[in-house]
Amino acid sequence: MMDLTGKVGFTIGTGRCGTLFLYQLMDLEAEVAASHERNPDNETFHRYCKWNNLPVDDEGFLATKEKEIRADLEGQPYSFEASPYLSLSVHELYERFGAKFIFLVRRPDRVVSSFVHKGFYRNPYRVKNPQLAAGYQDQSPEKFHTFLARISPRGEELNSWNEMTRVGKVAWFWKAFNQRTFELLSELPKESYRLVKIEDVDYPKYCELTEYLGFRTSIARSDFDSLRTDKPHAFWRKRNIDQWSEQEITEYETQVGDLAKQLGYEYRIAHLTEEISAEKTEAVRAGHIPQKKKGPQFWRLRRTTADWLRSLAKAMDVA
CATH code, domain carrying 262:
3.40.50.300
Query: Which residues in the chain show pLDDT less than 70?
Result: 1-2, 231-237, 288-304, 306-308, 311-319
Return phi, psi of residue 105, to 5°: -125, 155
Q: Number of structural domains, the chain?
A: 1
Domain assignment present for 129: yes
The candidate with the shortest Cα–Cα distance to 88, out of 26, 143, 22, 10, is: 10
Domain assignment present for 299: no
Predicted pLDDT at 238: 77
Q: Both ends of the chain: CA-CA distance in Å?
A: 82
Question: What is the span of the domain harbouring residue 99?
Answer: 8-274
Rounded Cα distance between 84 and 108, Å, is 16
Domain assignment present for 296: no
Mean pLDDT of the chain: 91
Domain assignment present for 43: yes
Domain assignment present for 232: yes
Predicted pLDDT at 101: 98
Label each residue of 203-264 as H, E or C. HHHHHHHHHHHCCCCCCCHHHHHHHHHCCCCHHHHCCCHHHCCHHHHHHHHHHHHHHHHHHC
> Please, which residues have CB within 8 angstroms of residue 1's CB and are 6 or more apart in sequence?
none
Domain assignment present for 42: yes
Question: 100: which strand partners?
Answer: 9
3-state DSSP percent of the chain in helix, strand and coil, to 5 = 55, 10, 35
Domain assignment present for 285: no
Task: Give pLDDT tens digits for 135-190.
Answer: 999 988 899 999 999 999 999 999 999 999 999 999 999 999 999 999 999 999 99
The candidate with the shortest Cα–Cα distance to 66, out of 111, 22, 98, is: 98
Predicted pLDDT at 112: 98
Q: Are 289 and 280 in contact (CB under 8 A)?
A: yes
Domain assignment present for 24: yes
